[in-house]
Amino acid sequence: MAKMDSKKMRQWALSMYLNENRTQEEIAEACGVARGTIVRWAKADKWKEHKAAKMMTHEEMINNWKEQLIEINDNIASREPGKRFATPSESDTINKLSSAINKLQTELGISEAVSTAQRFIAWLRPVDLEKCKEFTRLFDVFLKSLM
48 and 114 together in one domain: yes
11 and 41 in a single domain? The answer is yes
Q: Are residues 67 and 138 in the same domain?
A: no
Q: Is residue 88 part of a domain?
A: yes
- The answer, as to whether pTM is greater than 0.75, is no
| Cβ count within 10 A of residue 110 | 19
Identity of residue 9: M
Q: For residue 100, tell me if it sits in a domain.
A: yes
Quote the number of domains for the chain: 2
pLDDT score at 1: 46
Same domain, yes or no, for 10 and 34? yes
If asked whether residues 97 and 127 sit together in one domain, one would say no
Residue 1 located in a structural domain: no
* Distance (Å, whole) CA 119 – CA 29: 22
- 83 occurs within a structural domain: yes
**75 domain residue, yes or no:** yes
| Residue 35 within any structural domain of the chain | yes
Q: What averages of pLDDT result for each successive group of 10 residues across the chain (147 residues)?
A: 75 90 91 95 91 75 92 96 95 96 71 83 94 93 78
Residues 67, 101: one domain? yes
Domain interval for residue 82: 58-106
DSSP-assigned letters across all residues of 19-68? HH---HHHHHHHHTS-HHHHHHHHHHTTHHHHHHHHTS-HHHHHHHHHHH
The pLDDT of residue 142 is 85
Regarding whether 121 and 96 lie in a shared domain, the answer is no
How crowded is the C-beta side of 73, counted as CA atoms within 13 Å?
10
